[in-house]
Amino acid sequence: MEVNARLTKLTRLGFAVRGLLYIVIALLVIMTGRAEDPSGALQYLGEGGGKLLLIVMTAGLLAYSLWRLSDAAFDIERHGSDRKGVMQRIGAAASGIVHLLLSWQAIRLIQGVASAGDGTQEGARTALHLPAGGALVIAGGVILLAIGIIQLVNAARATFLRHLERSIACRPWVQWSGRAGYAARGCVFAISGFFLLLAGLDEQASEAGGTAQALTWLDSPFDILVAAGLLAFGVFGLVEARYRVLHAVPVERLMQRAKI
């Protein structure tokens, strides 16, 4: 029970870290015109806050990724076994992997090794060297587009509110920060998916791009509007850190399987 309680606290820290990264991404665009992805925002914070801040953020990101991966494996968020539930669990797995990689980048920054290049382009480049690499990249683009559409649907239906405590979920500012945030993220994912589709069709990794490239691609004032939405998503992430209803990760079951 004590292990679960500590992991839950660290997962909340992970939600806060994710929110902070999106706030930094948004403010950099709005105030300086500089476009970054979460790894770039992590490096920016590391340069300003030092190793101690990076260590704290790494702990939160690791816990968050473990929680997401456990949700995918054990359905701790109770998505169900229908098609919608399966898709949500796949999304949880993808989120867990992304934040696990982000944790590794944070560890590398603590070690003094700065990240170089665009992660999406590097991933596309690696995939294109594999058999049927173009098809793999195209599949990745389709998945990103689908995630973008799901995010936009979440923004419209406000389904994200069911994960919050009722006392906070009913507040209009929380509802609209979530709507704006998910809509902005949906746009970014859709644009990134489009870039990945082009990269796969043309077999050119340089055409792939993530959050930073999506924000750079948008003309004014749309880049500012999307950045404002990402700022709202960051604020909503801080709300989740405090008020999200979290189901415990089955630590005992994991430990038993490890012994086997």
Q: For 174-221, what is each residue's pLDDT tens digit?
A: 999 999 999 999 999 999 999 999 988 888 878 888 899 999 999 989
End-to-end C-alpha distance for the chain, whole angstroms: 21
pTM (two decimals) = 0.89
Q: Which amino acid is at 60?
A: G
Q: For 105-138, what is each residue's pLDDT tens digit?
A: 889 888 877 665 566 777 777 877 888 888 888 9
- Residue 68 corresponds to which tokens in the numbers above? 């997401």
State the Cα–Cα distance between residues 231 and 213, nearest whole angstrom.
Answer: 17
For 23, list phi and psi in degrees, rounded to 5. -65, -40
The contacts of residue 104 (CB under 8 Å, 6+ apart) are none
Q: How many domains does the chain have?
A: 1
Expressed as residue numbers, the domain containing 145 is: 2-259
Q: For 14-31, what is each residue's pLDDT tens digit?
A: 999 999 999 999 999 999
Q: Is there a contact between 155 and 186 (Cβ–Cβ < 8 Å)? A: yes
CA-nearest of 195, 222, 181, 188 to 120 is: 195
Provide the Cα torsion 43, 46, 52, 58; round to 10°.
-20
